Amino acid sequence: MSTMRNSVMLIGRPGAEPEIKTFNNNKVARFRIAVNESRKNANGEWVDNTQWFPIVAWGSLAERVEKHVTKGTLLAIDGSLRNNEWTDDKGQRHSSTEIWISDIIPLIAKN
């Protein structure tokens, strides 16, 4: 049994409508999700911290995103981290990390 694991679970809300594209009859959905955390600071005051995470869904999950996800929808997401590296046309190296989802559940029904 392997002790290594790449797993992400988030509950949050998309900040914009998902972007849906089709490549060779395979859909991909991309959006960013905001996850808010509240904590007390040194003065005992509650402060909010919002983290944004890029989300990617492929195939049937992208179709579910297209049908059920809109800006502000409360979502539970399961997935894994994917690191991307590339060199642009000017020779500059870039990197990014995305969450490729394996399941998505809207927690509040869409009206």
Instruction: Tell me the CB-side half-sphere exposure of residue 60, using CA atoms within 13 A.
Output: 2
Question: Is 93 within the bounds of a domain?
Answer: yes
Angle ∠(97,100,105) on CA atoms, nearest 5: 130
Question: Is 15 within the bounds of a domain?
Answer: yes
Residue 110, pLDDT > 60, answer: no
Question: Is 18 within the bounds of a domain?
Answer: yes
Question: Is 111 within the bounds of a domain?
Answer: no
Could you give the percent of the chain with pLDDT greater than 90? 86
Which CATH number goes with the domain that contains 49?
A: 2.40.50.140
Domain count, the chain: 1
Average pLDDT over residues 57-86: 94
The neighbour count for residue 62, using CB atoms within 10 Å, is 22
Residue 109, pLDDT > 80, answer: no
Average pLDDT over residues 46-73: 94
Q: Are the CB atoms for 80 and 86 separated by under 8 Å?
A: no
User: Which domain does 64 fall in, by range?
Assistant: 8-106
Could you give the percent of the chain with pLDDT greater than 70? 95
Average pLDDT over residues 24-41: 94
What local confidence, expressed as pLDDT, does residue 1 receive? 62
Residue 47, pLDDT > 70, answer: yes
Mean per-residue pLDDT over the chain, rounded: 92
Question: Is 1 within the bounds of a domain?
Answer: no
Question: Is 3 within the bounds of a domain?
Answer: no
Token digits of residue 75: 């979502």
Q: Model pTM?
A: 0.84
